Structure 1
Amino acid sequence: MPEGDTVWQAARRLHIALAGRVLTRSDLRVPRFATADLTGRTVLDVTARGKHLLTRIEGGLTLHSHLRMDGAWRVYATGRHPRGGPDHQIRAVLGNAEWTAYGYRLPVLELIRTAEESGTVGHLGPDLLGPDWDPAEAARRLGADPARPLGEALLDQRNLAGIGNVYKSELAFLAGVTPWLPVGELAPGTPERLAATAHRLLEANKDHPERRTTTTRRPGTPLYVYGRAGRPCLRCGTPIRKAELDDRVTYWCPGCQHGPTTESPTTPATPEAP
């Protein structure tokens, strides 16, 4: 599932291509909205809210989309054939005289009233890349359920919006605890530090094509643990472990992170490629 910085980048690309321009093409390929015609309307802005994309359109309408695991928006010069996947995977087309945006494999696509956006994204916690970012509130929500494993709390978008599996694993590593440690067992001040670190990392990565959490510049080492199963920890040299639970993958270092671990690791026999 894309992280918040990836969704932010998608929103920026769409905003640059569509905002302030009149739609000359509109095609929503989902049964509920297949007859909706947005041509002739001006796109006002495109913004990210956590992992949600909100395309606001003249007339008080918002096209809400969510990428989930496989979704993507691709922008091409109008008249150029898209190459984001087979045509039958296209779920939405928004075009103007210069640019056309294609939404591929979008599991969530709905046209709502802009005034009713809160019913769709109002449940989200402070947005790590949004104007509503509130580190104190994010830390409070993160620690609200002391028995909850840290990894689950970090992934819950109601706590802080924008964290996915990559940042979940990296933040737990940077905190020196496993993702299975109950948040109530974190050292005092750790929720505040986690919220601040998450914000700093997403801000630093939102303008770069390669996500980086490490300070080393050695090739192939942008991340501390994610995607590095079987390879030595960049800090202590212990092989990184990997587990897949509930359709989510988790990475951690047994040497650097203390706390409970899964009973069913799935670390590959050969190290994962960088």
Structure 2
Amino acid sequence: MPEGDTVWLAANRMNTALAGATLTTGELRVPQLATVDLAGATVTEVVPRGKHMLIRFADGRTLRTHFRMDGSWHIYRKGTPWKGGPAHSVRALLTTDEWDCVGYRLHDLRVVPTSAEGELVGHLGPDVLGPDWDLDEALRRLRAHPDEEIGVAVLDQRNLAGIGNLYKVETLFMTRTHPWTRVADVPDLPGLVTRARSLMQANRDHPEQSTTGSTRRGEDHWVFGRKGRPCRRCRTTILLGDQGPDTQERVTYWCPTCQAARSPIDPLARTGEPGHPASLAAS
């Protein structure tokens, strides 16, 4: 799933291409917006909000798009062939005299008055990469649910917006935090959140998402995508399990030695016994 830094970079590039320009084409290829024509509208700015992208127009409208698992925006100079996928996967097309901005497999497209953006993103917590970032508010929201598993809580966009699965598992490893630890039992919650933010800040200006300091293939992550491989710190086998209500998006990688539980948690999650989602790590 695209993380907040991916959306930040995409929005920054879209803003460079579109801000101040008038659209020559403005097609939204989804049934509920099939009659909306944005041609002739002038783009004022493109901004990220967590994992949402907001394209604002001078006429007082905003187009919201979300990448979810497989969405993306591609930007091409006028006349350049599009290479983002088959034509039937295009969900939005915004063009100017210079650029074609093509949205592939986008989700949650909505057009609302800019004054009503709160209806779409008002529920989100402070944006990890946004101008509204507020560490104290993010901590307050996290601590409001002390029994929540930390691996679930940091992905809840209502607590803080922008963190996805990659930065979740990498941050938990780097702070030696077991994914099933209760929020209330995390010894340094401010340090954990600050670490996640620093990782995302370090990667927001380029597509590579390295957490180790290396961008070489296979060396860029500590535990993410490394099921069954030795931990870079202690050589213990990295485990993989399901965590949270949407297990398709919330698989968890962790090192059972570097991230050993330091407080009472679900014993099955800790030991990975058969029948528990965490036990899938060893299969």
1:190-241, CA deviations, whole angstroms, 9 ceiling, x for partnerless residues?
Answer: 1111121111111111012211212467762211110111111111111111
Gaps of 5+ in 2: none
Q: Distance in 2 between matches of 1:116 and 1:95?
A: 25
- Report the alpha carbon displacement of residue 179 of structure 1 after superposing the two structures with TM: 1.1
Q: Which residue of 1 aligns with 2:240?
A: 242
The letter for the 2-side match of 1:15 is: N
Written as runs of structure 1 = structure 2, the 5 A alignment for 1:58-97 is 58-97=58-97
SS in 2 for 1:85: coil
Q: Which amino acid aligns with 1:239?
A: T
Question: What is the aligned partner in structure 2 of residue 159 from structure 1?
Answer: 159
User: For residues 20 and 193 of structure 1, do their structure 2 counterparts lie closer, same or farther at Cα, with a shift above 3 Å needed?
Assistant: same
Q: What's 1:197 paired with?
A: 195
Which position in structure 2 is the counterpart of 1:3? Answer: 3
The range that moved more, 76-85 or 20-29, is: 76-85
Rounded to whole Å, the distance in 1 between the matches of 2:92 and 2:215 is 39
Q: Is the 8 A contact 1:28 1:92 kept in 2?
A: yes
Q: Which amino acid aligns with 1:258?
A: A
Counterpart in the other structure of 2:173? 173
**Cα separation, partners in 2 of 1:24 and 1:216, compared to 1, 3 Å:** closer
Flag the 1:28–1:205 CA change in 2: closer, same or farther, 3 A: same
Which of 253, 256, 259 lines up with 1:257 in the alignment? 259
Deviations 1:83-111 (A, max 9, x none): 11110111110000000111111121111
Q: What is the distance in 1 between the residues matched to 2:139 and 2:214?
A: 28
CA contact (8 A) 1:75 1:100 kept: yes
Once the 2 structures are TM-superposed, how far is the Cα of residue 119 of structure 1 from its aligned partner?
1.1
Amino acid at match of 1:122: G
CA spacing shift, 1:194–1:150, aligned 2, 3 Å? same
Contact kept, 8 Å, 2:222 with 2:232, in 1: the verdict is yes
For 1:102, the equivalent position in structure 2 comes to 102
Q: TM-score, normalised by structure 2?
A: 0.90
In structure 2, the partner of 1:266 is 280
How many Å separate the matches in 1 of 2:24 and 2:156? 38
Three-state SS of the structure 2 residue aligned to 1:266 is: helix
Count residues in correspondence: 267
Question: CA separation of 1:122/1:79 partners in 2, compared to 1, >3 Å: closer, same or farther?
Answer: same
Q: Distance in 2 between matches of 1:39 and 1:215?
A: 44
- 1:144 shift after superposition: 1.6
| Alpha-carbon separation, structure 2, partners of 1:42 and 1:13 | 17
Deviates more, 1:144-153 or 1:29-38: 29-38
**Alignment partners' CA distance in 1, 2:76 and 2:55:** 17
Structure 1 residue 79: Cα displacement: 2.6
Question: Are residues 111 and 216 of structure 1, via their aligned partners in 2, closer, same or farther at CA, if it must alter by over 3 Å?
Answer: closer
Q: Which runs of 5+ in 1 are unaligned?
A: 270-274
Determine the structure 2 residue equivalent to 1:228: 226
2:280 is matched by which residue type in structure 1? T
Residues in 1 aligned to 2:242 and 2:150: alpha-carbon distance in whole angstroms = 16
Shift of 1:158: 0.7
Q: Which amino acid aligns with 1:63?
A: L
Aligned-pair identity in percent equals 51
Task: Please tell me whether the aligned partners of residues 229 and 251 of structure 1 are also in contact (alpha carbons under 8 angstroms).
Answer: yes
* Partner secondary structure for residue 155 of structure 1: coil
Shift of 1:58: 1.5
Give the aligned partner of residue 30 of structure 1.
30
Instruction: Return the letter of the residue paired with 1:40.
Output: G
Q: How many Å separate the matches in 2 of 1:244 and 1:191?
A: 22
